[in-house]
Amino acid sequence: MTQLKEVKEATVETIEMPLERDWFSRSLIRQLSGLLEEVVGLEEASGFISVVGQNIGNDINELYKNGLKLSNLNRQQISDVLVDLKTRIQGDFYVIEADDSKIVLGNRACPFGTEMVKDRPSLCMMTSNVFGTIAAENDGYAKVVLNETIAQGAPGCHVTVYLEANDEANAADGHEYFKAGS
């Protein structure tokens, strides 16, 4: 005799779907950035997101300094913080090279998620401003260059954070950051 398996009817509570807080938050950010890009244009949308990124950069900088019980991060600690903060939010940043004048980072995974950041280059201003704010607040100056980004279709990101306004930094197309009050 064959036993019949009881088929349970799907209910709202039992269906599988990716709907949870992280997905919802990333979708919200994607939609907001897309709307901004459509309504005011990419440059203005990037400007709005830059302000948010600077505020978040200040908050993150304070979290690390308080956690490390330091009033200021040195250049090695800046590099470590940039990688660590992205790891904590599910990015996959790593240092390609670092010296006294710059930190070059690669990235294999966007914290927003590849599908959520695709065609939303204004969201990359979060990385630029968070990195630039942390570096400048601790070292006085930073210039962040987004050489390649997942948002623009690259398989990964390539970001340079200049710590000095030298000839190489001056020739690069990026955003400059200065310590507040300087």
| Alpha-carbon gap, residue 86 to 81, rounded angstroms | 8
pLDDT of residue 8: 75
What pLDDT sits at residue 13? 85
Could you give the C-alpha distances from 139 to 75, 90, 120, 145, 165, in angstroms and in order?
7, 26, 30, 17, 12
pLDDT of 117 = 94
Check: pTM over 0.85? Answer yes or no. yes
The angle formed by the CA atoms of residues 42, 132 and 26, to the nearest 5 degrees, is 55
CB-based contact 36:44 (threshold 8 Å): yes
Q: How far apart are CA 30 and CA 102, in angstroms?
A: 30
CB 87 within 8 A of CB 106: no
Contacts of 136 (CB under 8 A, 6+ apart): 142, 177, 178, 179
Are the CB atoms for 26 and 112 separated by under 8 Å? yes
Domain ranges within the chain, ordered by starting residue: 21-178
pLDDT in tens, the chain (182 residues): 566 666 678 888 888 888 899 999 999 999 999 999 999 999 999 999 999 999 999 999 999 999 999 999 999 999 999 999 999 999 999 999 999 999 999 999 999 999 999 999 999 999 999 999 999 999 999 999 999 999 999 999 999 999 999 999 999 999 999 999 87
Fold of 21-178: Muramoyl-pentapeptide Carboxypeptidase; domain 2 (3.30.1380)
Give the pLDDT of residue 18: 82
